[in-house]
Structures are given as structure tokens and as C-alpha cells.
Structure 1
Amino acid sequence: MTLISFVVPAYRVQGYLRECLDSILGQPVADIEVIGVDDCSPDDSGEILTEYAARDPRMRAVRLTENVGLGPARNIGLDRAAGEYVWFVDGDDWLAPGCLTEVVGRLRATRPDVLLVDHVRTHWNDATSRSAMVEVFPEPPGEETFRLRDRPETLRLLHTAWNRLVRRQFLIEEGLRFAPGWYEDVSFSYPVLMAAERIGVLDRVCVNYRQRRTGAITRTRGERHFEVFDQWHRVFRLMDAWGPAVDDLRPALFERMIWHYLSVLGNGERIDPELRPSFFARITADHARWLPPGGYPAPAGAEGLKHRLVAAGRWRTFSALRTAYRARDVARCTARSAKRRVAPPARRAARLARDALLREYYRAELRRPVDETLAVYAAYWYRGYSDNPAAIFEAARRLAPQVRGVWIVRRDRVHTVPEGVAYVVAGTPAYYRALARARWLVNNVNFPDFVRKRPGTVHVQTHHGTPVKVMGLDQQRYPVGAVGMDFAGLLRRVDRWDYSVSANSFSSQMWERAYPAAYTTLEVGYPRNDRLVTATAGEVRRLRADLGLGPGERVVLYAPTHREHLPGYRPPFDPERLLDVLGPAGRLLIRSHYFHDRDQRARRPADRDRVRDVSGHPRVEDLYLVADVLVTDYSSAMFDYAVLDRPIVVYAPDWEAYRLARGVYFDVTAEPPGAVATSFADLLDLFRAGGVDSAAARTARQRFRARFCALDDGHAAERVVRRVFLGEPATAGRPARGVGSLAPASQAGGGPR
């Protein structure tokens, strides 16, 4: 028999759901099942559940046709559960590795009605805060089970559903289910404890309770927080129905109710200021309605004062007290900050003074009206005209000619700007003026910290690749690859985004987790890849001729990624040995990552006729179009090049070290876009034996393309322009019918297939 049924409701958790499911299914315990309930989620949560169900027989996916809310979704999962115990785990939380072994051991040893487990709150900055377990049980609780009246302090543990496993037959016999509405845990968790004959406590951290920066109800303002009253009313009405059997628990439950109400009211992110007086009045009414005849154990100190003000209905005094406490906290914080300030070194003073003058000019420009016709574009920290912003710029010139586009470039990269494209040089007054007054700001990285998000302006983050390595906040778990990163500053920059352009569903899921904020995702394909779809055979011939490549030559493009944790590292790669294998018709193009200062550190290949360093070539799309094969490691180049449906080799000599040090979102050696080589000898063998484009490699490539390239149909930039500049409704990308329509680059003279 299945011991534990996990019920995992999913609604708008696509960025976190994989981690949740992996943390359950990866536990070293076999007799479990997972019931994933897609609560008609508007994102790809349902598809993720279906994907996992297809590959793991312990997983079942339930797809709802209408949104019912968390409580009813849990009930639907409960009705389908077959396990002896049920564990309700939210789709954005995850289990601690190996914890299930101890949970199973405790369940089998004690057979409780309820087993409470410990948790930690995991914040966006990867900090954790402990639960109240140690305060509630200062001595280890041990394996003995108990009734709630014997240890009423148990009520002080967090009243959620996910920190307890409940015997399924016990729930059925007691008729305990979740009610609809917000704060649904209240009317489930407390009755479960009151009705249980055998409560166990495992003081082992099992759940990581994710403190989401956006999307959680605890960070959502609105009137729905008043639903907390209905949930507590259900608890007390149930106690009335159960009668004297639970009368001795009323004082402790009453104290928890007032504590909870005050917690909701005191959270500034939940109750709007104009609603707080009426919320307070509801607390006062419930205090009078449900006060136990013999009173209750009110807290001491400032918290006790709050309870007395609630009982007396003194909102004005309560509000003034709250304001005074906040002012005190602000004063203390300001004092601490002042102590930490130090004067800058003298040698920096002049530069800081110049910057201060320009920033003052910028602030002055901010007071002028926004230029409703101006769009500012940038790419790769002002390295020049390229990537997704360039593709959007070109589409906007065609579809929205009323928008005046201006590029920001470094002074040493001005030569990359095509003739006829307006630009300003970074750091000049014109640069600050453009940033201050532009209606639209488009970039594939973040603009500098000083840039303000003005009302009415639109910031578009295009990104610059589908992620293999972890990004954003996820890097906090891999400190070797995140040295010097300011994650708080990163989030301040992310908060400026209005739109995040995504190439595929996978990217949308990862960006949502790595960059949590209130932007709108435009899952439309990658604008820079439009050219790969629309290019003609004639264009490919011209590009090859410009690069000195003959029509019958087989061109291999080698494009490794940057390794932040190993500055200066280059994968083992011998161009001459590869050319020997390729034969006299082989040509090799080598392109370094843009972090490697391409123009200044170009290599000197031994055979200049057959090996060319193309690191300084302004548009990587040209190189994709002329290449017959791509060799890369963990670069996002593989996702772009896959659009062409040409052979790709993942050359991953340091995969395990990279995965552990830098962190990755998926295993490119297990789900590759083609053949895989883990040593240079293996790479040579693949080319020597034809494994580069074998049947197995083509099958892997087709799976990869179906997953990552389905939206690249040649119209991604158009979709961005129509939504962002023209305000048209969002439209999803179409399956890329044109993808792969070009012949291999070496056969471009034969025309399209």
C-alpha cells in the first residue's frame, strides 16, 4: 500500500514547480504517490505536471477546467489519494533532501493521526529563518504521541497544511476538508489538531517555505484578506458543534485567533490603509463574540496592550501606537546606516564630482516631459548594435515609424552602429538626456542603477539567451559563480521591467523564479532568431563569400561559453587536430564569449586559411547562417542554432565541475540538441565516424527543437513591437513552420529544400 500521498496544487507556480516535484520524487523512498492538481493555471504549471506524470509512474496529473482555489484544489487531490497519509505540499515550496526517510520511519514507528514536521522560511535572498519549533518545544519532543489538550502549546506552531502529514482515514472519519477562500489553512489545521487522538512531532526541517517576492497572498493587498474572519468563524462554529469535549481548548484557540488577526492587520502589504479601521472593528467584534467565559491567556508587554486596545475598540490609539513603533524602528535603522558611512578615497573624488554633475543634469532632465516618440536601445552593456534589441529596432522602424529609435553605445563601439542608425555615446550629456526622457527603454541586460522608472515609461528586458546556467536569484545557491553580485540591487533593477521577452516556455519558467517581479512575460520567441528563419539561400551565399568560405566547404563554428568561476579558462581544443579530421574541405570559425574582450584578445590561429577567429564579428546570426555544424558547451548558442535544424555537438569536458560550481537548470548531456562529447578525443571521434549527424543525434535535435524552438517562426520581433509600441493584444507565437527550411550552409548554392 502507498504510505504517503502528496497533493500538490499548482496555480501560477511554473517557475518553482519543477523544484518542488524534484524534491519529492527524488527522495530515497519508493512507496509514495504525487497527485498534481492544475487549478486551471494560466501559465505552464499544468504542462509541467503532465510532463512529470508521463515519465514517473508515481505521479498523476489532474487538470481542472476552471479555477477553484487552493482549498478546493486540495480536496480534489485528497479525493484521489490512495496513501495511508496525505501531505499537502504547495507547488512553490520544496522538501529538504533526504527528509522523507525520517518521516517514513516516524510514521511507521508511531502511527499518529497527525505528524507535525519542522520547516524554515527561505527568503528571496536565500536567507532562512527558523520556525517556532524550538520555542514551542524547548526540549526535544521525542517519539511519544499526545492529544492537543495535553500539550496545547502545539497550537503555537504555524497553522499551515504543508507542515503536517495527516492520516487519510482519520480525515474521512472526521469529515475534515478545506473550505474555499483565502486563509483556508485555518479552518483545516486547527480542527485537525483538536480532533486527533495521536499527535506526533518530528523536529527535523522537512519543508522549505518559500517567501515569494511577488505573487503570494501575503504580499497582495485587497479586500480578500477579510476572508480570514470567515475561516476563524468556521473553527469556532465547529467547536460549538463539538461541545464540551473541546471547551478546554477555547482559551488557547481564542488567543491564536486574535494573534492571527493582528498579524494580518500589522502586515503593511496586506490591508490597504483605508480598510484598516474596518478590519480592526471586525477584530473587536470577534473579540466580544468569541471571548471564552473564563478569559484567555493574553500575552504580556506591547502585544498584550494591543489585545486590550482591540477589546476596547480603540482604533485611534492602536493606530497611533503602531505609527510610533514604526518611527522608532526607522530612527534606529537610520542611525545604524550613518555609522557605516565612510568617506571615499581622495583619488576618487574628482571622478565622483564629474559623475555628480552629470547625474544632476540627468535629474534635471527627469523634470522635463517624457518624449512620447523616443525609444532608447542598448545591448550587452553598450557594446554595440546587436542581439534582440537590434531585431526589435528594425521591426519597429518598419511597423511603428512614428517611434524614433536611438542606440546607446560605448565610444569604442561606435563603429558597430549601421549607417543611418541614430546613437548617443555612453557617459555624455546626450546619453543622460536620452535615458531621462525616453518613453521606451529596450535592453538585453539591465540599465545602470541610477536610471529611474518614470511614470508612463516602458522598460523592455529582452534577455540574451535561453538559460542553461542558473541566473538571477538562483545564483545565490552557487556562490562560486556569483562573487560580488548585489542581489538586492539586481531586484531593484528588475522592478523597472514592464516586459520580459521569452523565447520559450522553459525560459519563462526560469525567469519567473530567477527574477521575481511584477512584469509581463512576452513568450513570443527570440527576435534575434527571426533572421535565421527568414534568410534566403542567396543571403547565405553572400555571407559565406564575405567570410571567404567556399560553397563546398564544411564550416564548423566553435563557440564556448564563459566560466565566471574560472577566469581565463579555455576548454581543451586543438584547431589543427580538428581540421585534420575534417579534411581539406573543412573550415573552422572560433568565437569567444563577449566577456573576453573579443577585439583586444583575438587569437592567432596556426592555419589562417582554414581557421578564423570571428570573435569580433558584430552579428553572431551571420555566423550561424554560414556554419554547417555548431560545437558549443553550455552556451545559449545551441538554442539559437537549433532553429536552423543543423547538427550541434555539445562538447562538455568539464560538465560535472561546471554543474556543481556554476549551477544549471537542466542536464545538456542528458537532453542534448545533438551528439555529446566529454573529451576532445571523443569530439574528434564524432567527426571522424559521422556521429555528429547520426540518426540518434538527429532524434535528439528534433526533441530539443520541439521543446525550445517552437515559437521561432520569423515573427517574434513583430509580436514584441505590436504589443509594446502599438498596444495591440498579446499574441502567442505560432509553431515555426519555416524553421530549418534552409539547406545546409555548404549547399546554399542549391537553394532552399
Structure 2
Amino acid sequence: MTSIDLIIPCYNYAHYLPQCVDSALGQDVDGLRVLIIDNASTDKSVEVARRLAEKDSRIEVICHETNLGPHASFNEGIDRARADCFMILCADDILAPGSLRRGIEVLEHCPEAAIVLGASSEPFVGDIPPELEPQPEGWSLLRGHDYIEQCCRAAGQNSGAHAILIRTSVQKLAGHYRASLTHMDDLEMVMRLACIGSVARLRGALVVQRMHATNQLSALWDDRRRDLQEREAAFNSFFCQEGWNIAGSKRLHRTARRRIAETAFWSAASHFYRGKGSAGLGLLRYSLGLDPTLVVFPPVDHLFRTHGALRRMAAVVSGESR
């Protein structure tokens, strides 16, 4: 029987915590431990967490007296993990129905897989309905190095690494999350994990995300330059540390920076067209700082290579996104 420690960091998410925990307890898996780590919430999160723990012995609650930041909760979860598998689930998200069972079955079937990721899905804005569509079965496997290259080639897009099911032994080897990476710490961590083993990806979602005004990523919604700078920082951190000696590391790092520069270039054009000159100028300067050649050779191929880029550009030109 494969056991799993599910870590739920929580800060002022009393409203979302019951649905998050219920989504874990409803998974068809044995050997489940749910560890809620509250980071000195000022709402009723601790009260809600303790009430949930009273009802189910699989739940444990740890309460910080002071706010230590989210990375402290992530890393405490890593230190306390003792099961075969490990996963961090944000308290405002939920597990997709049956996703833990599917992920654990992949790890049991495929010993070379170090981690399991889910398919990308559109996040819910606001409440997540209690009944969700069943997720498709099946999975695919990618060598860790190939996955890292895939991340570099799509550096300006979403990484799909919001939630990671991991062999605990692999997580212990990879170590802690880095507090210096405010928003893209999961992207950097998944590349570190991919240095250790292969990456399995489910055809269905692993986690269902919820987007709201107090979401940690909400700070990036209207600030494309900052979003891209955070991505650049994640790649810089990885290639200056664990990724420096992987095959073709310098080429991969250049690819990631080039893709981020291309994304910034066309995002700048979009901002200029929509009358957001100051933001557009900032993006253009950032883009050319990463790759000065773009001023001479605009990256037209980026529009054809990036999923949805042409559609978004057409929407801007037609005025649909103004």
C-alpha cells in the first residue's frame, strides 16, 4: 500500500479550507495523512481546521504563532513528510476527483517516474462547483531532461507545475523551496525534481485551481512584466544551481531567456495597441534587455509557435480585448 502525505498550507482561507480538505478525504486512496499548516491566520482558519481534524483522524493541524511566509509552510511540510508520496495542495484549490489514485497508480507502475503532474485546466473564478466532470484516464511519461527542455521552450507560458505529486525520497533529495522566488517557486522546483527522475503527466487534471482577489498569483494578473521577470528568476536560479551541469545547460538557459524575451516583445506590442504606453514601453525595454537582436529581427515565428498567440493578437487588433 502506497502512503501519501498531503500538505495544505493555509493563511486566511477559512472559507475555502473545508472544500479543499473534503476533496482530499474523498479520494479513493489508503494511507492518506492530511497535514494542515496554518500560517498565523487572522480569520477562523485555525478553528475550521481543528473542527475538521476532530471529525477525521487522518487530519493533523499545525499552527504557527507568527506569519513566517508561505515557503516556511512548504518547507516544514517537506521536513515532516514520512509517507511514500508527498504533495502540497493550496488551501484555496481542490483535488480533481480520483486524481490521487491515478497519480499513485502511475508511480507504482513506473518506478523511473519521480513526479506526476496533471493536465492544464482553466481555473475557476470564485466558487468551485461541488460536482465536477470526471477526469480522463491515462498518462504519458517524459524523461526529466526532455521535460526541462520543454519548460525552456515554453518559458513565457504557464508551466503547468502548480501542483506536483512526488515520491517523498525524491523531494527530500531536491530539498526546500527557495523563498527568493516569490511566485514561480513551483516552476523552479519541478525542474529540480526533473533532474532526479522522469516526469509523468496525467491526461486529466491533478488539481482544480481557484482564482480570486486574495490568490497569491493575483499580484501578477495585471503586471505582465513582473510575471515574466518572476519566470526569468526561476530559470536563472535553476541554471545557476542544480541545473548548471545538465546536458546542454547553457543552450537551454539561452532558450528560456529568448522565449521570455519574445513573449515580452509581443506583449509590449499588445499594450501599445491598447493605449497602455507606459506598460508597453517597460515590456519592450525588458524584452530588448534580454535579447537586443529583437529590435532588428522581430520574433514573428513566436506567434506561430505559441498556442493561442495568433488568436490573442487578432482579438487585440479587432478590439475584442480592449
Counterpart secondary structure, 1:190: helix
Residue number among 281, 284, 295 corresponding to 2:285 in the alignment: 281
- Secondary structure in structure 2 of the residue aligned to 1:299: helix
Once the two structures are superposed, the pairs formed by residues 357-368 of structure 1 within 5 Å of their partners are: none
* Structure 1 equivalent of residue 144 of structure 2: 147
Deviation for aligned residue 1:325: 5.7
Structure 2 CA distance for aligned equivalents of residues 34 and 40 of structure 1: 18
Q: Which amino acid aligns with 1:326?
A: V
Per-residue Cα deviation, 1:199-253 (whole angstroms, up to 9, x for no partner) = 21221223211232x2224444788973863563353243244235342533553
Secondary structure of residue in 1 paired with 2:204:
strand
1:186 paired to 2:187: yes
Q: Which has the higher contact order (CA 8 A, sep 6+)?
A: 2
Query: What aligned pairs does 1:64-213 form with structure 2 within 5 A after superposition?
Result: 64-111=64-111, 112-124=113-125, 142=139, 144=141, 146-149=143-146, 152-153=149-150, 156=154, 158-180=158-180, 181-193=182-194, 195-212=195-212
SS of the residue 1:34 aligns to: strand
1:254 aligns with 257
Q: 2:132: which partner in 1?
A: none
For residue 149 of structure 1, report the CA deviation from its aligned partner: 2.5
Post-superposition shift, 1:144?
4.5
Q: What does residue 330 of structure 1 align with?
A: 320
Change (3 A) 1:210 1:220: same
Matches within 5 A, 1:401-480: none
User: Which amino acid in structure 2 is aligned with residue 192 of structure 1?
Assistant: L
**Contact persistence 2:261–2:286 (CA under 8 A):** no
Aligned-pair distance for 1:88?
1.5
Task: Report the 3-state secondary structure (helix = DSSP H, G, I; strand = E; otherwise coil) of the residue aligned with 1:33.
Answer: strand
Relative to 1, partners in 2 of residues 1:330 and 1:71: Cα closer, same or farther, differing over 3 Å?
A: same
* Structure 1 stretches lacking a partner, 5+ long: 129-133, 135-139, 307-320, 334-753
User: Structure 2 vs 1, CA of residues 283 and 59 (structure 1 numbering), >3 Å: closer, same or farther?
Assistant: farther
Partner SS for 2:206 = strand
2:261/2:288 contact within 8 Å kept: no
| Inter-partner Cα distance in structure 2 for 1:297 and 1:171 | 40
Q: How does 1:50-61 map to 2 (within 5 A)?
A: 50-61=50-61
Change (3 A) 1:126 1:215: closer
TM-score normalised by the chain length of structure 1: 0.34
Aligned residue number for residue 229 of structure 1: 229
**Cα gap change, 1:69 to 1:227, in 2 (>3 Å):** farther
State the AA in 1 paired with 2:107. Answer: L
Partner SS, residue 257 of structure 2: helix
Q: Which amino acid aligns with 1:216?
A: N
Check the 8 A contact 1:2/1:31 in 2, yes or no.
yes
Amino acid across the alignment from 2:62: V
Q: Distance in 2 between matches of 1:227 and 1:122?
A: 17
For the residue of structure 2 that corresponds to 1:205, the secondary structure is coil
Call closer, same or farther: CA 1:252–1:44 in 2, change over 3 Å.
farther
Question: How far off is 1:197 after superposition?
Answer: 2.4
Cα distance, 1:11 vs. partner?
1.8
* Alignment partner, residue 133 of structure 2: none
C-alpha separation in 1, matches of 2:146 and 2:6:
29
CA distance in 1, matches of 2:77, 2:3: 16
How far is 1:141 from its partner?
7.6
Hey, what does 1:12 align to over in structure 2?
12
CA distance in 1, matches of 2:259, 2:224: 20
Match of 2:21 in 1: 21
What is the alpha-carbon distance in structure 2 between the residues aligned to residue 47 and residue 240 of structure 1?
43
1:23 CA displacement:
0.2
Measure, in 2, the Cα distance between the counterparts of 1:263 and 1:61: 46
Question: How far off its partner does 1:91 sit?
Answer: 0.9
**CA shift in 2, pair 1:302/1:228, >3 Å:** closer
Q: Distance between the aligned counterparts of 2:40 and 2:262, measured in 1?
A: 34
Call closer, same or farther: CA 1:95–1:215 in 2, change over 3 Å: same
Which secondary structure state, in structure 2, belongs to the residue aligned with residue 243 of structure 1?
Answer: coil
CA distance in structure 1 between the partners assigned to 2:287 and 2:143 by the alignment = 32
- Calculate percent identity across the aligned residue pairs: 19
Contact map agreement 1:251 1:297 (CA 8 A) in 2: no
Do the aligned residues in 2 keep the contact of 1:11 with 1:39 (CA within 8 Å)?
A: yes
Deviations 1:34-89 (A, max 9, x none): 12121222222222222222332222212122223333321122211112222111
Counterpart contact for 1:27–1:100, Cα < 8 Å: yes
**Partner of 1:216 in structure 2?**
215
Distance 1:196 1:215, change over 3 A: same
Are 1:245 and 2:247 counterparts?
Answer: yes
* Alpha-carbon shift at residue 19 of structure 1 (Å): 0.4
Secondary structure of 2:203's counterpart equals strand
Distance in 2 between the 1:91 and 1:166 partners?
18
Instruction: Give the letter for the 2:207 counterpart.
Output: V
Take 2:267 and 2:167, find their aligned partners in 1: how far apart are those partners? 30
Write the distance in 2 (CA, Å) between the matches of 1:152 and 1:105: 26
**Corresponding residue number in structure 2 for 1:299:** 302
Query: Which residue does the alignment assign to 2:30?
Result: 30
Q: Which amino acid aligns with 2:52?
A: Y
Decide whether aligned partners of structure 1 residues 4 and 239 sit closer, same or farther in structure 2, where only a CA change above 3 A counts.
Answer: same
Secondary structure, aligned partner of 2:106: helix
Give yes or no for contact 1:255–1:297 (8 Å, CA) kept in 2. Answer: no
Q: Is the Cα–Cα contact under 8 Å of residues 86 and 165 in structure 2 kept in the other structure? A: yes
Q: Distance in 1 between matches of 2:100 and 2:252?
A: 32
Amino acid at match of 1:163: A
- Measured in 2, the distance between the counterparts of 1:288 and 1:196 equals 35
Q: 1:13 to 1:152 in 2, by over 3 A?
A: same
CA gap 1:116/1:150 in 2 versus in 1, 3 angstroms: closer
**Deviations 1:230-278, CA, capped at 9 Å, x for gaps:** 56335324324423534253355335544675799779xxxx9755534
Alpha-carbon separation, structure 2, partners of 1:326 and 1:109:
46
Alignment partners' CA distance in 1, 2:264 and 2:67: 27
Q: Which residue of 2 aligns with 1:47?
A: 47
